[in-house]
Amino acid sequence: MLMVGLTGGIGAGKSTVTAVLEEAGAVIVDADKIAREVVQPESPGLAMLVAEFGEGILGQDGSLDRAALASLAFVDADRTAALNAITHPLIGQRTAELFTAAPQDAIVVHDMPLLVEGGLTPGYHLVVVVDTPADIRLERLVGQRGMPEDDARARMSRQATDEQRRAVADVLIDNSGEREAVVEATRALVESRLVPFEHNLRTATPVIGDRTVVPFRPEWAAEAERATARVRHILGEVAVRIDHVGPTSVGDLDAPDIIDLQVTVRDETGEDSALRMLRDAGWVRDTTSVRPLFHWCDPARPVELSVIAEDDPEHEFSLMMAEVIADDPSARTEYAEILQRADREETRQWERARCGASRS
């Protein structure tokens, strides 16, 4: 199962994107819909809301008056926190049930406005952000959906900023223009990334990155950070540390477009656990490597991950690369030449030799 987190600020166009994804066969888990389910008439959720916000949030027929609750709940951060403390655990429970019920070969899209606010992004294989500037969102919410402007503004102020969402996005879908453009971008995403990603995960097919050297990309650091957060989510305390290593970590160096991560574990037992947990999470073991090495299976983002025990003397070598190169311009030139030869083993050997020498 490929788990995609889809988010965006209020009015960004998530519903527009999910409609295309659903048409393409994805299973949609809609957080706003679940939020309605858990506060139906006579539900424990509704009773808790009444206890917190008063009888005034009920309509004549005893169901939730959503506008009345919104006018009380978004006035300040404290009131919103009270609303969230009641609704979010109930929503979380139902969401987990729906994920469990989805077929194993599904692309499951969690349409969730508060993905970033809840710190949930590392739990998904891919995070897609529908990116629409706040002023355009406001205009659409008021103009097309008839939402009162102060309500829209109040909700925006209770949500993450556009910058915070962009920082966790693997994919940004720009919805500042015509609707047709976002529909096209979503269809292209399904074909080029989601379908092959799901296939690779299900069949344990690794994505082996191309070792051709490409110009330095400043995005590498953020991509490595997101990959690290995902691995941290999988391994928890089993990983003593997780580092971005190898050519893309050096900074301002042309390199193959492959993110290298190094997971440090305590000892052999930790290593056994890590290998099992990574495999169960879809990482594919490289059988040609003597040391434990894994590949990720996102077709658009090759990642290689090695696992090493902290008492292995070579553990520190990968961590020293950036420093060795910063201190010695000739080492930088040599490294760049080795990378041009596009041989992973030769690169590794050079890193080991250079860092080993600099340590002694």
Ligand X SMILES: Nc1ncnc2c1ncn2[C@@H]1O[C@H](COP(=O)(O)OP(=O)(O)OP(=O)(O)O)[C@@H](O)[C@H]1O
Ligand Y SMILES: CC(C)(COP(=O)(O)OP(=O)(O)OC[C@H]1O[C@@H](n2cnc3c(N)ncnc32)[C@H](O)[C@@H]1O)[C@@H](O)C(=O)NCCC(=O)NCCS
User: Running DSSP on this structure, what letter comes out for residue 194?
Assistant: I
What are 77's two structure tokens? 């951060």
- Judged by beta carbon distances under 5 to 8 A according to partner kind, the member of ligand Y, ligand X, none in contact with residue 193 is none
Q: How far is the CB of 139 from ligand X (least distance, A)?
A: 9
**Does residue 129 interact with ligand Y by CB under 6 A?**
no
Question: Three-state DSSP class for 293?
Answer: strand
- Judged by beta carbon distances under 5 to 8 A according to partner kind, the member of ligand Y, ligand X, none in contact with residue 12 is ligand X
User: What binding mask, one character per residue, do residues 150-179 give for ligand Y by CB under 6 A, x or -?
Assistant: -----x--xx--------------------
11 in a labelled binding site: yes
In the list 7, 87, 186, 347, the residue contacting ligand Y (rule: CB under 6 A) is 87
**Does residue 125 interact with ligand X by CB under 6 A?**
no
**Does residue 69 interact with ligand Y by CB under 6 A?**
yes
Question: Three-state DSSP class for 278?
Answer: helix
- Part in contact with ligand X (CB under 6 A); list of ranges 44-52, 82-90, 138-146, 189-197: 138-146
- Angle between helical axes of 344-359 and 329-340 (0-180°, round to 10): 160
Footprint on residues 85-114 left by ligand X (CB under 6 A): 113
CB-wise, 5 or 113, nearer to ligand X? 113
Q: How far is the CB of 80 from ligand Y (least distance, A)?
A: 5
CB-wise, 73 or 231, nearer to ligand X? 73
Footprint on residues 151-190 left by ligand X (CB under 6 A): 175, 178-179, 182
14 in a labelled binding site: yes
Site size for ligand X (CB under 6 A)? 17
- DSSP labels, 64-104: B-HHHHHHHHTSSHHHHHHHHHHHHHHHHHHHHHHHHHS-T
Can you list the pairs that 357-360 forms with residues at least 24 positions away whose Cβ atoms lie under 8 Å? 358/320, 358/324, 358/327, 359/316, 359/317, 359/320
12 in a labelled binding site: yes
**Does residue 10 interact with ligand X by CB under 6 A?**
yes
Q: How far is the CB of 132 from ligand Y (least distance, A)?
A: 12
Q: How far is the CB of 78 from ligand Y (least distance, A)?
A: 12
Dihedral (CA of 272, 275, 279, 282) sign: positive
Q: How far is the CB of 173 from ligand X (least distance, A)?
A: 10
Question: Three-state DSSP class for 341?
Answer: coil
Question: Which residue positions form the known binding site?
Answer: 11-16
